[in-house]
Amino acid sequence: MRIGVVGAGVIGQLRAQSIKENPATQLAAVFDTSLDAAKKAVEGTSAPAFTSLQPFLDTGMDAVIVSSPPHVHEEACHGALERGRHLLCEKPLSNTVEGCKRIVDAAIARKRVLAVGFNLRYYPAIKFVKDTIDSGRIGELDHLRVFGGHEGLPKFRIDWQYKYPESGGGAMMDVGIHMTDVARYLLGEITEVSGVMSENVWHVPGSEDNAVAVFRNPKGIPAIYQATWSEWKGYKFYVEAYGSHGMVRGAYAPMQNMIITQDRPGGKRSTRWNFFPEIIVREKLKTWHSTALLSFKGELEDFLKMTRGNTHVPLADGYAGLRSVEVARAVKESSEAHKVVTLPALGRMEAV
């Protein structure tokens, strides 16, 4: 499969690398408004580097990966879909709910695969939590706790990463959006949202620095959620799932799992940890990029499967992209109006 990349920044370079290193894929072209960035991404291949969208789209390719900033995702996504390309777009799918809906509708109308880069689903610690819940080892799922946070503004390299007109929001659209997706992935769906958000730390208009919320799935099972830009201990995310017969935790960074199982509620307990030493050593040598790259490789494998009609893969689809942005907006609405916001179940997108 010939795949083009739009946006060759930190993430786009890794996306291009994942394409180059997969024997079933070929880098077709790269478009970035910076020629240097585009050229760097095509290094070692014969793929052309472009600084505008149209000649990029005119190049022969089967699929496009969009990894430009969120406020410009839409133009590239529509351009790719109009030409019949399958699409994998970075999170957030768009900086607005309406933008997400337009991209989802276009993918459905064109019968193309739309995947969204919620790569935490491919982190071993999250995979373990998902597999543990599905296996029934912790019994009936009772509730989740999800958390994503970092120190806020000093963490950002560029303005678009935190300014509302480009990013579409604050902590919930940044590190928090991954955790919204993890909650939905584990709950099956999010149909009810109540929450409180604030802009009291960094005072960036429209960009909340803290949000606490409760999400519920159609069965009423809740996730307690926090997204924050005032996690002074540094970048961290975790999910904990509590069931009738135990609990399981997945966390990063560092990558970690903990599992407690018991034969009955309050019964004899067994506790296990996994510290993933190989990942910790690799990150010391090659930074977090090495872990992200592995997850992008996993996503690419499943993207190929999705284009062949197999949707039974962990890869997030367009509905996951849409729901995560809808949930961020619902938390804002809930916070402002002091009410519970309900959303219709979306499920999974149909196979192409």
H or E element in which residue 147 lies: strand 141-149
Choose between 64 and 213: whose C-beta lies nearer to ligand NAD: 64
What are the φ/ψ torsions at residue 336 (nearest 5 degrees)?
Answer: -75, -40
Of 7-15, 216-224, 253-261, 264-272, which segment contacts ligand NAD by CB under 6 A? 7-15
**Is 117 a binder of ligand NAD (CB under 6 A)?**
yes
Minimal CA–CA distance to 208: which of 196, 217, 220? 196
* CA distances for 274 relative to 243, 255, 289, angstroms: 20, 8, 21
Applying CB under 6 A, among 5, 27, 30, 70 the residue interacting with ligand NAD is 70
Number of CB atoms found within 10 A of residue 16's CB: 27
Identify the residue whose tokens are 């975790």: 238
Binding footprint of ligand NAD, residue count (CB under 6 A): 23
Among 3, 5, 11, 80, binds ligand NAD (CB under 6 A): 11
Give the residue among 116, 96, 321, 102 at the shortest CA–CA distance from 206. Answer: 96
CA pair distance 161, 58, nearest whole angstrom: 30
Closest approach, Cβ 56 to ligand NAD, in A, equals 9
Q: Which stretch binds ligand NAD (CB under 6 A): 8-16, 106-114, 251-259, 308-316?
A: 8-16
Shortest separation between residue 52's beta carbon and ligand NAD, angstroms: 9
Which H/E stretch holds residue 259?
A: strand 256-262
- Residue with Cβ nearer ligand NAD (69 or 314): 69
Tell me the two tokens of residue 96: 């607005």
Count of beta carbons in the 10 Å neighbourhood of residue 136:
11
Which residue type is seen at 300?
L
Min CB(145)–ligand NAD separation in Å: 21
Does the footprint of ligand NAD cover residue 72 (CB under 6 A)? yes
Residue span binding ligand NAD (CB under 6 A) among the ranges 62-70, 139-147, 203-211, 306-314: 62-70
Q: Show the binding pattern over residues 18-37: x = contacts ligand NAD (CB under 6 A), - = does not.
A: -------------xxxx--x
DSSP for residue 71: G
Cβ atoms of 56 and 4 closer than 8 Å:
yes
Sites for ligand NAD among residues 119-138 (CB under 6 A): 119
Strand-pairing partners, residue 196, are 212
**Kind of pairing between the strands at 192-198 and 341-342:** antiparallel
Q: Is 31 or 162 the residue whose CB approaches ligand NAD more closely? A: 31
Site string for ligand NAD, 78-107 (x = CB under 6 A): ------------xx----------------
- Minimum separation from the CB atom of position 234 to ligand NAD (A): 16
Among the residue ranges 65-73, 141-149, 268-276, 277-285, the one whose residues contact ligand NAD (CB under 6 A) = 65-73
Residues that bind ligand NAD (CB under 6 A): 6-12, 31-34, 37, 67-70, 72, 90-91, 117, 119, 158, 292
